[in-house]
Structure formats: C-alpha cells, structure tokens
Amino acid sequence: MLPALQKLCLRKGQGFTANGLAMFLSSLNLKLLHHLDLSECASLQDNAVQAVTQQCGSCLKTLNLSWCWDVTDVGLTAIVDKCSRLKELHLVGLHRVMGSCLDRIPEEMPCLKHMDLQQCNLINDAIIEDAVRRKPDLVVLNYYGRCSYINNTSKRLIR
C-alpha cells in the first residue's frame, strides 16, 4: 500500500487512537518515505514510532514528532538506532524524553544537521553539548529556542 509515497503529513491527527495509529503506520509500505510529519498527534506512542522506524527509518530525511506527549526515550532510541539518513528531527514539547541515547548521534546519525528540542525540559544539556562538539555541523535548538549549543563551525555554515 502506497509504495511510492515520499511525503506524509498527519499533523494534528486528534482522532487517531494509539493502537489505530500504530497499526496504520505498520501496515503501510513506506520504503520510499522521506518526510514524515506526525506533530500534534496526541495519541502517538512509542509503538507507533517503532513501527515507523522499522518501515522507513533507513530512508527518512525529516521527522517531526513535536507535541507528541506520549513519546518517551523508547521511541527516541528507535529513531537514533534506525534513522541514519535523517537530516532534520523536530521533537518540540516532548516532556517525557530524557535523551540519554542522543550521545550516539555523531556515530549513528551522520546526516543529521538540525534538531529542535524546544520545550524538552528533561534533556540533559551536557549530552547535547557533547554531541555538538563531536558533530560540528549539527545545529540544536534548546529548550528556549536558542542555538545555545552552536559552535564556530555551525556559525559559518549558517551564514
């Protein structure tokens, strides 16, 4: 089903149930999906994130899970483990994520250039600072929406 689909936006999918969303995403053939926006799907849980990463993690370039409050470190770990070609990751408002797996970004996600962690209040700043130090082309927006983890190499890339 939908084998040629490259972009899918289910933003603000308020009518989805957690199981329904997971079953839907795992039933699709999404081998060519490059861009996925599930932001504000309040019922999205880790099992749906795992289904997505199994289906199309290796080809995803952008993923937006902003304001998907039930996503935890289990889902985030699946992203780090399976989405090696990801260039942009938007995780705004994921208040249950601590981000211990983010220390593996330089090795596991070499293509990642932009990560938005606004309103992610549990993420340890030291983990992000270390990841940016080891991956100079990565720009990370912090809790307040500032590029506080930006380094000199990243500043040159932005200009």
Question: What are the tokens at 84?
Answer: 């090696």
Question: What are the tokens at 123?
Answer: 């993420």
Q: What is the pLDDT of residue 41?
A: 95
Tokens 């549990």 sit on residue: 122
pLDDT in tens, 85-121: 999 999 999 999 999 999 999 999 999 999 999 999 9
- The pTM of the full predicted model, rounded to 2 decimals, is 0.89
Tokens 């199309």 sit on residue: 56
Lowest-confidence segment of 14-18, 44-48, 115-119, 139-143 by average pLDDT: 14-18
Nearest Cα to Cα of residue 108 among 80, 136, 135: 80
Lowest-confidence segment of 18-27, 81-90, 142-151 by average pLDDT: 142-151
Nearest Cα to Cα of residue 122 among 100, 151, 154, 145: 100
Q: What is the pLDDT of residue 1?
A: 66
The CATH topology of domain 7-148 is: 3.80.10
Mean pLDDT of 19-23: 85
Q: What is the pLDDT of residue 146?
A: 78
